[in-house]
A and B are shown apart, each in its own frame.
Chain A
Amino acid sequence: MNTSALLLMLFAVGSVTAFTAYFFYRVLTTPPRKEPDSYLDTDEV
């Protein structure tokens, strides 16, 4: 690959992957809200 193509690809792929991973990490590490929330999985039986 030529340098400009390689750099552009690394920039695009790297930044998109980083943003996706970051936002997923934020979702997974945010504690759930107190009930009643929008989600059935957290409902108390």
Chain B
Amino acid sequence: MSSTNNESWGSRIGLILAMAGNAVGLGNFLRFPVQAIQNGGGAFIIPYLVCFLLMGIPLLWVEWAMGRFGGRSGHHSTPFILHNMDPRRMLWKYIGVFGIFTNIAVAAYYCYLESWTLSYIWHSVAGTFMGQSAEQVASFFGNYVDVTTTTTGIPYEAIWFWLICLLLNTWILSKGLSGGVEKVAKIGMPLLILFGVVLAIRGVTLTAGEDGALFDGTVGLNFLWTPDYSSIWTAKVWLAAAGQIFFTLSVGMGSIHCYASYVKKKDDIALNAMTAGWMNEFVEVVLGGAIIIPIAIGYLGVEKVVELTKTGGLGLGFKTLPFLFTQWGPVLSAIAGVCWFGLLFFAGVTSSLAMGTPVMGFLQDEFGWKRGPSAWMFGLIVLVLGLPTVLFFNYGVFDEYDYWAGTVSLVVFALFEVILFAWVFGMEKGWAEINLGADIQVPVFYRFVIKYVTPVFLAAVFLGALPGIWDQIRNVGIHEEIASTTDPAKLAFLHDKLLFVDGSRMLLLALFLGICFLVRKAYLKRKEHGHGVV
């Protein structure tokens, strides 16, 4: 079966914005500031930037180079991009399965997250939160994800918003790279930055006594950036920094490989990768650090925000900020809501689109599917796999997907890919690939970093995560909750939760094995047609 894949990027800026959009996600605004607060305040930026330089940038170059190299042989998804680099070994194409598995599984819950932002834009404009107390706004979120509880009179509201979001993603994907993904990135990324700048200015200039604020915005900045230098000598902080760099750049997913596979041999990847990577850092450090914490601390004070951030940034973003916006009056509140949830939506949609392209590339390359059917198949798979995350959100299905697909798989895949690139494919060829057509001089120092430092960093992150993985497998957290609960209703809920958690793992395992089967089938088909090796 010959490939029907004749996708192409429209422009260099479009490619860079799409790559940056792939990297920029909700975590830039919700995860980064919380990680900084929990890991030494301002001092966190030191391990964070070191990890960006020694792990993030090398991985970006490695993934761009692998993608472009694979694209030259007509491969646009990781199973055969990896296989192409060491065709003698059977292993790599199955390692490459991670690059499809992760995208499907993450998209399955990420689209739901994205749909919350759409819904909250609607509620911000409709003025739903005006006049509500802080507790009412917070419980609105709980009611919303409960699915059966309606917040606006529309039954199953959360499901409708999720379906709209999924349809929108699928429709954009069906328009192709230049006609869909790139157009959204060209509109979405500038708007995201504009919304971010508006909110950052508002956050930083917040004045105590105005609009009910208790403190100046600078109090939040002061809290966020005051360094605790003793923290940078602890392994936990370095693991947190490495983890943040990892997730913020969307490395280890297979989406960068796919986007880069549409870049031709003589065109630059070195400067493109740097530009997209640093743009993500700008959004995260400059904008992400100036919105949620200064505004939240301005209204709630340091102690309350520290308490709220213990459960992550999601609560601050969806339960607290909408209430704080209402303090600015109906018009400004609506504008702030549209800016905040709008930027989160654009951050989300540019990432979820990147998750669809490797799956489509695989179906087009290996099974001769056309673009439209490939996109709708991706949408259908995400619909089926995503439904449990929507219906059983409170039973931990969403978190389970996030843990295995959005956390563990990324580290495993990145570790394997850097070993393949630096040690199997070889640094000689790898370095030449990175520098081919480069518009910047890549520092020679990075040849050493890619070969030795990045794999060690990744291995450390993986080994550091092993105890947590083991605890997760044994459901330690849920069992501890069961042991400390006497309420029969809560006990029944926790036992149900155990079932749902184990069930979602089975589902993910089935997905992984299913993709392995398809890769095997595609490989045999390639062999049959005489191009099974490269």
Residue positions of A touching B, CB distance < 8 A = 1-2, 4-6, 8-9, 12-13, 16-17, 19-20, 23-24, 26-28, 30, 32-33, 36-42
Chain B contacts for A30, CB-based, 8 A: 268, 271, 439
Which residues of chain B in 271-305 are interfacial with respect to chain A, using CB atoms and an 8 Å cutoff?
271-272, 274-275, 278-279, 281-282, 285-286, 289
| Bound Cα distance from A8 to B225, whole angstroms | 7
Cβ A26 vs Cβ B42 within 8 A: no
Chain A contacts for B264, CB-based, 8 A: 36-38
Cβ B45 vs Cβ A12 within 8 A: yes
Cβ A17 vs Cβ B11 within 8 A: no
Cβ B278 vs Cβ A16 within 8 A: yes
With contacts A8-B45, A23-B271 taken as known, whether A17 is within 8 angstroms of B282 at the C-beta atoms is yes
- Select which of A17, A24, A26, A27 is within 8 A of B286 by beta carbon: A17
State how many angstroms separate the Cβ of B23 from the closest Cβ of chain A.
13
- Interface segment among B12-20, B250-258, B337-345: the answer is B12-20
Cβ B16 vs Cβ A27 within 8 A: yes
Cβ B285 vs Cβ A16 within 8 A: yes
| Bound Cα distance from A38 to B439, whole angstroms | 15
With contacts A17-B286, A27-B13, A30-B271 taken as known, whether A5 is within 8 angstroms of B278 at the C-beta atoms is no
- Select which of B15, B16, B275, B285 is within 8 A of A12 by beta carbon: B285
| Bound Cα distance from A9 to B286, whole angstroms | 9
| Bound Cα distance from A30 to B42, whole angstroms | 36
With contacts A16-B282, A17-B282, A23-B275 taken as known, whether A39 is within 8 angstroms of B225 at the C-beta atoms is no
| Bound Cα distance from A12 to B45, whole angstroms | 7
State how many angstroms separate the Cβ of A38 from the closest Cβ of chain B.
4
State how many angstroms separate the Cβ of B68 from the closest Cβ of chain A.
9
Chain B contacts for A2, CB-based, 8 A: 222, 226
Known: A5-B221, A13-B285, A16-B285. 19 other contacts (CB 8 A): A1-B222, A4-B226, A5-B41, A5-B224, A8-B43, A17-B282, A17-B286, A20-B278, A20-B281, A20-B282, A23-B274, A26-B275, A27-B439, A30-B271, A38-B15, A38-B267, A39-B8, A40-B10, A40-B11
- Select which of B9, B10, B222, B275 is within 8 A of A5 by beta carbon: B222
State how many angstroms separate the Cβ of A40 from the closest Cβ of chain B.
5
With contacts A16-B281, A38-B8 taken as known, whether A5 is within 8 angstroms of B225 at the C-beta atoms is yes
Main secondary structure of the interface of A (DSSP, over half): helix
Which residues of chain B in 347-374 are interfacial with respect to chain A, using CB atoms and an 8 Å cutoff?
none
Main secondary structure of the interface of B (DSSP, over half): helix
B375 within 8 Å of A (CB atoms)? no
Chain B contacts for A41, CB-based, 8 A: 10-11, 14
| Bound Cα distance from A40 to B183, whole angstroms | 13
Cβ A1 vs Cβ B272 within 8 A: no
Chain B contacts for A24, CB-based, 8 A: 275, 279
B88 within 8 Å of A (CB atoms)? no
| Bound Cα distance from A37 to B271, whole angstroms | 16
With contacts A2-B222, A37-B264, A38-B267 taken as known, whether A23 is within 8 angstroms of B278 at the C-beta atoms is yes
With contacts A23-B274, A38-B264 taken as known, whether A16 is within 8 angstroms of B10 at the C-beta atoms is no
State how many angstroms separate the Cβ of A31 from the closest Cβ of chain B.
10
- B127-151: contact bitstring with A at CB < 8 Å (1 yes, 0 no)? 0000000000000000000000000
State how many angstroms separate the Cβ of B275 from the closest Cβ of chain A.
4
6 pairs from A and B in contact (CB 8 Å cutoff): A16-B286, A26-B439, A27-B16, A27-B439, A38-B262, A40-B10
Most buried by B among A24, A33, A38: A38
- Select which of A1, A23, A26, A32 is within 8 A of B225 by beta carbon: A1
